[in-house]
Chain A
Amino acid sequence: MKKIRVLIAKLGLDGHDRGAKVVARALRDSGMEVIYTGIRQTPLQIVNTAIQEDIDCLGLSILSGAHLQLFPKIIDLLEKRSKKPLILAGGIIPSEDTPALESMGIRKVFGPGTTTREIIDFIRNELG
């Protein structure tokens, strides 16, 4: 039986994991397998985990403002390893940064007020 495998990753030094945990739980409740690796993950840790776990979707959570520096590193590493999961992002990401993030490979940035239902539906739609 096939399951959608999602890696929820908290990137950088920020320790606010309320959203990440709520999303992880909601995804689990919708039948997905969620790998959660806790706070303070580096880009390399995230990518290695993504590869070993053969994930379908990567959810990046960051609230410290370091997204423009850290996301490209992840995208770069994934590209080098030929891994192409669906990449989503959430946390505190100013809307003017969204175009830049989407053009570098983040499929969608989910801002505050997003419902878990939206995220679940989005993932299922994208991954078929």
Chain B
Amino acid sequence: MILSEMNLVEKILQGDPGSTAKLISKIEDEPGTDFEEIRILEAKGTSAYTVGITGSSGVGKSSLIARLIEQYRKNNKKVAVLAIDPSSPFTGGAILGDRIRMQMHSLDEGVFIRSMSTRGHLGGLSQAAANTIKVMAAWGADTVIVETVGVGQDEVEIIKVADTILVVLSPGSGDDIQMMKAGILEVGDIFVINKADRPEAENLKGTLESVNPGRKDEGWQPCVIETIALKGSGIEELYEKIEEHRKYTRKKEDDK
């Protein structure tokens, strides 16, 4: 028993995607279980920087992630993506289609993408996600991007564990109020207005800035970045901002 566990863990630490995937499946099947493998991995001390990306469907999160992956890879960093989509409350099934927009990266050995559904876990999703992030870190991810559709309480809970949270909006999608209701605006460190070439972008920016949302933190002023993921505009700026926040949070950790 111990030997096979070690083999799985060893393979994951060597960057084997198959083993990584298998352990994630185990976690998904039993989110509440305290797996030996997870404890071993935790003991190894690998960790990854997490970026949470949330927003309504259709704002372009997946396209944005695909662009960010390019940036991380340009900088020689391995990146993992955990794309979470809601399961049907009626059937328990799910269609996980986020990776369509990221499929150009499926041939890159330095990228690991995993789609996960909420499976009706009540609160269990957070644990499954947290453990999955650990496994991805062990696989070798420098950064783990967690993507959720910011509608349910569960999804908001998951995002809160990220080091940097991006809240993505897009003009004309009419979801601003909804997001405020769900408490999502309060968790953002960086606000992204995607599809910024749309006419209503300026309005949205104005609304956002007047609401002054974001995670309350004396040292970090949440900002608004405009992007056009399909064209690649604003991506470098966004990447820089994320890295800036990363440095900031690391500094805060060190200062503690």
Contacts and interface: CB of A to CB of B under 8 A. Distances in A.
Quick check: do A and B touch in the complex, using CB within 8 A?
yes
Interface of A: 1-3, 5, 24-25, 27-38, 41, 44-45, 48-49, 51-54, 81-83
B114 interface: yes
Contact of A48 (B24, B106, B115): B106
A41 B29 CA distance: 28
21 contacts: A1-B119, A28-B91, A28-B94, A28-B95, A29-B91, A31-B93, A34-B95, A36-B96, A36-B100, A37-B100, A41-B103, A48-B17, A48-B106, A49-B99, A52-B106, A53-B21, A53-B115, A54-B18, A54-B21, A54-B22, A83-B18
Interface string B9-40: 00000000110111011001100000000000
A102 B112 CA distance: 31
Contacts of B97: 35-38
Interface residues of B, number: 31
Given A3-B92, A28-B88, A29-B91, A81 B18 contact: yes
Nearest to A55: B21
Contact of B113 (A29, A38, A44, A52): A52
Contact of A35 (B87, B99, B121): B99
Question: Which residue among A25, A28, A36 has the maximum number of chain B CB atoms within 10 Å of its CB?
Answer: A28
A29 B89 CA distance: 10
B11 to A, nearest CB: 11
Decide if the interface of chain B is mainly helix, strand, loop or mixed: mixed
Contact of B107 (A5, A28, A29, A48): A48
Given A1-B120, A49-B99, A52-B17, 7 more contacts: A33-B87, A36-B96, A48-B106, A49-B106, A52-B113, A52-B114, A54-B18
Contacts, number: 89
B126 to A, nearest CB: 15
A51 to B, nearest CB: 5
Nearest to B102: A37
B29 A54 contact: no
Contacts of B92: 3, 31
B156 to A, nearest CB: 22
B117 interface: yes
A37 B24 CA distance: 20
B18 A35 contact: no
A33 B88 contact: no
B103 A29 contact: no
B4 to A, nearest CB: 15
Nearest to B117: A33
B21 A30 contact: no
Contacts of B117: 3, 33
